[in-house]
Amino acid sequence: MHSVTRVSDLIDEVTHSWNIPLIKTLFSDIDVEAILSIPISSQGALDKGVWHYTDNGLFSVKSAYHLTRSSNIPYNSRERGESSSGSLQDGIWRLIWSLRVPNKIKSFLWRCSHNALAVLSNLFNKKIDVSPYCPRCNFAFETIEHLIFQCKSSKEVWANSPFANAVSPSWDSLSFTEWWIGMVQSVRNSSGVDDLHAILATLCWMLWKGRNIAYFDKKFWTCSTTVEKAITLCEEFKAATETVHALPRLSTPPHPSSWLPPPPNVIKLNVDGAVNKKNGISGAGIVARNHLGEILGSISIPFLGFLLPRSTEALAFREALITAAIRGFSEIIVEGDSLQVVQALIQDGKSLSDCSSILADCVELIPLFSSCSFIHVKRSCNRIAHSLAKQSLLGAKLECWGGPVSQHLASLARDDIQSSDCSLS
Ligand SMILES: [Zn+2]
């Protein structure tokens, strides 16, 4: 006989889902249904009491996240007399934001220094189903330090770069931030120090780009290719910023009546949940598209248990964020037609108690992206995700990346593009 004293005793540790056979032996049918309708955190959150009848349940992970963020606020809004680690963070902040490199590289370095990059060990620690091993050497866990300077292939890149004399084998045990400061210091007396700092930053970013190509496309850049690409990007950026003025920003209407493509370099993920109350089946649909409206990938994923419609919507957002992190997307927009879920994700301190653990998971995933925004849209703008969510009710997970899409999805995507052209002209 199981001894059940805590909620976690009812959860299967391996699959992070309710232990349905055990629950059925312990509770009445009505209670079983009520328990299975509660979504479970993928992070293994602790048991907690939640006032279930208001929208303001306890939200400890989110508040912890905000506490962490408030300790990382920019240096000019802090008081003097802070701790040495605070000063260190300030110095790093200043240095990164003064670099003459594209903003995406600054953001990348900032995420590296806060261990918030979607390297495989970080995804693995967030209970995402991936191998934590480095896809380039397959020898060690892929941490940020391994990615940037511990991996054999990264060492070769540095040895063939302008920083060949700076790197020392004894630096292998440093954290990313310590290593970064060491590298910056190593060239501080060189001529063209600003350019060298830009190349240093861009090389870190290029190692990440090369890693993504190794991971997703199974192609491997040589070390000279990586170095050349970094130097070229630095030169191009320098030339471009000296001649080009800032482009005007396009403002998006608050409630577009048709689907709008994201800006270039941003991936838009539309999500939707679906519930078949009669059969107690639920699931989600996710579609990722680029600025041309081309479908990059689509997912139909069924969920276990009798979930409420709002919980399936929240789970759809979480699946989209996990997918985007695994695919290495950097700038994303996640769009759905559940106003309550989108508001809960956007508004600080306001949550939905019945899916707070799912929303907390979502909030934990946000720092993995250089930009991540949530948009509420009408159902008419979310038809592909809706169609994929309905498909999930058939019970099988379907995922397609880079391949041809069904005629039905292709025609919905064409409609979206045509109506977005109309609304933009
Ligand atoms: Zn490696």
DSSP 162-185: TTTTT--GGGGGS-HHHHHHHHHH
What is the pLDDT confidence band of residue 44, given thresholds at 50, 70 and 90? low
User: Rounded to the nearest whole angstrom, what is the distance from the C-alpha of residue 406 to the centroid of ligand 1?
Assistant: 38
For 40, list phi and psi in degrees, rounded to 5. -105, 140
Q: Which of 355, 346, 348 is nearest to 67 (CA)?
A: 348
104-118, 120-134, 237-251, 380-394: least confident range:
237-251
Ion ligand 1 contact residues with beta carbon within 5 A: 134, 136-137, 151
CB–CB of 275/309 below 8 Å? Answer: yes
Rounded CA-CA distance 361/46 in Å is: 13
User: Rounded to the nearest whole angstrom, what is the distance from the C-alpha of residue 157 to the centroid of ligand 1?
Assistant: 12
What is the pLDDT confidence band of residue 221, given thresholds at 50, 70 and 90? very high
Higher-pLDDT residue of 27 and 311 is: 311
User: Rounded to the nearest whole angstrom, what is the distance from the C-alpha of residue 392 to the centroid of ligand 1?
Assistant: 37
User: Rounded to the nearest whole angstrom, what is the distance from the C-alpha of residue 220 to the centroid of ligand 1?
Assistant: 12
100-114, 256-270, 322-336, 343-357: least confident range:
343-357
What is the pLDDT confidence band of residue 383, given thresholds at 50, 70 and 90? very high
pLDDT value of position 90:
61
Q: How many helices (H) and strands (E) does the chain have?
A: 16, 8
The answer, yes or no, to whether residue 122 has pLDDT greater than 80, is yes
User: Rounded to the nearest whole angstrom, what is the distance from the C-alpha of residue 405 to the centroid of ligand 1?
Assistant: 34
184-198, 224-238, 247-261: least confident range:
247-261
CB–CB of 410/309 below 8 Å? Answer: no
pLDDT value of position 12:
74
pLDDT value of position 290:
94
Contacts with 1 (C-beta within 8 Å, 6 or more apart), sequence order: none
pLDDT value of position 190:
80
User: Rounded to the nearest whole angstrom, what is the distance from the C-alpha of residue 128 to the centroid of ligand 1?
Assistant: 20
The answer, yes or no, to whether residue 272 has pLDDT greater than 90, is yes
Higher-pLDDT residue of 99 and 50 is: 99
pLDDT value of position 351:
66
User: Rounded to the nearest whole angstrom, what is the distance from the C-alpha of residue 96 to the centroid of ligand 1?
Assistant: 25
CA distances (Å), origin 351, targets 21, 56, 275, 340, 356 = 31, 6, 22, 9, 6
Average pLDDT over residues 132-154: 95
Higher-pLDDT residue of 11 and 405 is: 405
The answer, yes or no, to whether residue 60 has pLDDT greater than 60, is no
pLDDT value of position 4:
63
User: Rounded to the nearest whole angstrom, what is the distance from the C-alpha of residue 158 to the centroid of ligand 1?
Assistant: 14
* Residue 191 in tokens: 């001529």
User: Per DSSP, which regions of 252-294 are E strands?
Assistant: 267-276, 281-289
User: Rounded to the nearest whole angstrom, what is the distance from the C-alpha of residue 42 to the centroid of ligand 1?
Assistant: 27
The three-point CA angle 348-353-356 to 5° equals 65
User: Rounded to the nearest whole angstrom, what is the distance from the C-alpha of residue 338 to the centroid of ligand 1?
Assistant: 41
pLDDT value of position 30:
63
pLDDT value of position 143:
97
User: Rounded to the nearest whole angstrom, what is the distance from the C-alpha of residue 183 to the centroid of ligand 1?
Assistant: 20
User: Rounded to the nearest whole angstrom, what is the distance from the C-alpha of residue 99 to the centroid of ligand 1?
Assistant: 27
User: Rounded to the nearest whole angstrom, what is the distance from the C-alpha of residue 210 to the centroid of ligand 1?
Assistant: 12
User: Rounded to the nearest whole angstrom, what is the distance from the C-alpha of residue 362 to the centroid of ligand 1?
Assistant: 28
**Model-level pTM?**
0.54
User: Rounded to the nearest whole angstrom, what is the distance from the C-alpha of residue 147 to the centroid of ligand 1?
Assistant: 6
User: Rounded to the nearest whole angstrom, what is the distance from the C-alpha of residue 104 to the centroid of ligand 1?
Assistant: 23
User: Rounded to the nearest whole angstrom, what is the distance from the C-alpha of residue 65 to the centroid of ligand 1?
Assistant: 30
User: Rounded to the nearest whole angstrom, what is the distance from the C-alpha of residue 226 to the centroid of ligand 1?
Assistant: 15
3-state helix, strand, coil in the chain (%, to 5): 50, 10, 40
Q: Which of 229, 234, 239 is nearest to 160 (CA)?
A: 229
The answer, yes or no, to whether residue 77 has pLDDT greater than 70, is no
How do residues 182-207 score in pLDDT, each as one tens digit?
888 888 778 888 889 999 999 999 99
User: Rounded to the nearest whole angstrom, what is the distance from the C-alpha of residue 114 to the centroid of ligand 1?
Assistant: 20
pLDDT value of position 238:
85
User: Rounded to the nearest whole angstrom, what is the distance from the C-alpha of residue 152 to the centroid of ligand 1?
Assistant: 6
User: Rounded to the nearest whole angstrom, what is the distance from the C-alpha of residue 116 to the centroid of ligand 1?
Assistant: 18
DSSP β-ladder status, 281-289 and 267-276: antiparallel
C-alpha of 358 from chain center: 15
215-224, 256-265, 328-337, 350-359: least confident range:
350-359
User: Rounded to the nearest whole angstrom, what is the distance from the C-alpha of residue 133 to the centroid of ligand 1?
Assistant: 8
Higher-pLDDT residue of 260 and 22 is: 260
Rounded CA-CA distance 231/244 in Å is: 20
The answer, yes or no, to whether residue 244 has pLDDT greater than 50, is no
Rounded CA-CA distance 127/146 in Å is: 20
Q: Which among 67-81, 101-115, 242-256, 287-301 has the top mean pLDDT?
A: 287-301
The answer, yes or no, to whether residue 233 has pLDDT greater than 80, is yes
How do residues 281-339 score in pLDDT, each as one tens digit?
899 999 999 999 999 999 999 987 778 888 899 999 999 998 898 888 889 999 999 98
